[in-house]
Amino acid sequence: MKGWISQVYRSIISITKVKRRSHKKKIDMYMVCLFHYDLSVANVYRYCGNNYTGEYRPIKEMEEKLRGHVDDDLIAWYIRVMTVGAPTKFNHESTRENTMLYWRQGNATSIKANLSTVVKALNKLEQHNFAIVYSSWISRFITNIFFTPHHILVDKGKRLIFDAKKQYTPTSVPVNRMTSTKLGVELECQYGTVLEQLLIRIWNLRIMYPDKDIVLHANDVKSCFRQMQHHPDVMGAFSYIIGDLLYTSCGLTFGADFSPSIWEIC
């Protein structure tokens, strides 16, 4: 029995080492590509294309299916999000002092306290092409980049939170203060009324069917915000460092102030 257990253990360790080598090789390839494109994370993103940028999606076919069922202005919003990316508008400059402040402060203590859970979540992001990963030392040489701290909610689905509103000082500027969302450039988000509408629906159903069971279902979409892509030229603004790796976000983040409204369109 001990020999069998030992053999299984060695097999597990061997598989783990293979996965680590494969992961490292992929990061090395990203790094080579980054050097080829003169440290432009935007151009690496464009080069990867396909699953990274969502260009495989049959948008024209979807447009034809939506036509007549959805308002034309909403279809136009949908096409722009799916083909151009998000946010609708982003034009900001950050001082070096501000950028370095966020680089030096790092992540919340919850990241270090739950490192194994964080690693699993990050591996999932990278495997699904929701992020492009580099060795973190290269970050100091990349232009058009900003760093946002992360923390993790272990008691709520083990979700990584992109803390895009974090301010370290009264004058520090987080990425959510750089976006143009406050100018009304995004479609109005109606998520806030969903619970009220659902409760009204339940109330009316009970009045109409006092003796019937009311069966509800949960609405959930796997990695919903991540399914929508950033425009390549702004993805560097939604970067973060965890451990010795730099993550540049292809998909929208859970924390950017435009993510809910962009997702709602789709």
Is residue 22 one of the residues assigned to a domain?
no
In-domain check, residue 20 = no
Angle (CA) 136-120-86 rounded to 5° is 65
Domain-embedded: residue 68? yes
Asked whether residue 4 is domain-assigned, the answer is no
Token match 């306290």: residue?
113
Q: Does residue 30 sit within a domain? A: no
* Tens of pLDDT, residue by residue, the chain (266 residues): 445 445 543 443 443 444 556 778 899 999 999 999 999 999 999 999 988 998 889 999 999 999 999 999 999 999 999 999 999 999 999 999 999 999 999 999 999 888 888 888 898 888 889 999 999 999 999 989 999 999 988 776 678 899 999 999 999 999 999 999 999 999 888 777 888 888 999 999 999 999 999 888 767 777 788 889 999 999 999 999 999 999 999 999 999 999 989 988 88
Full DSSP string of 37-84: TTT-HHHHHHHH-HHHHTTTS-HHHHHHHHBTTB-HHHHHHHHHHHHT
Q: Determine how many CB atoms are found less than 10 A away from the CB of residue 237.
A: 23
Q: Give the whole-angstrom CA distance, residue 73 versus residue 95.
A: 37
Whole-prediction pTM: 0.82
- The number of folded domains in the chain is 1
Residue 159 lies in a domain: yes
* Residue 23 included in any domain: no
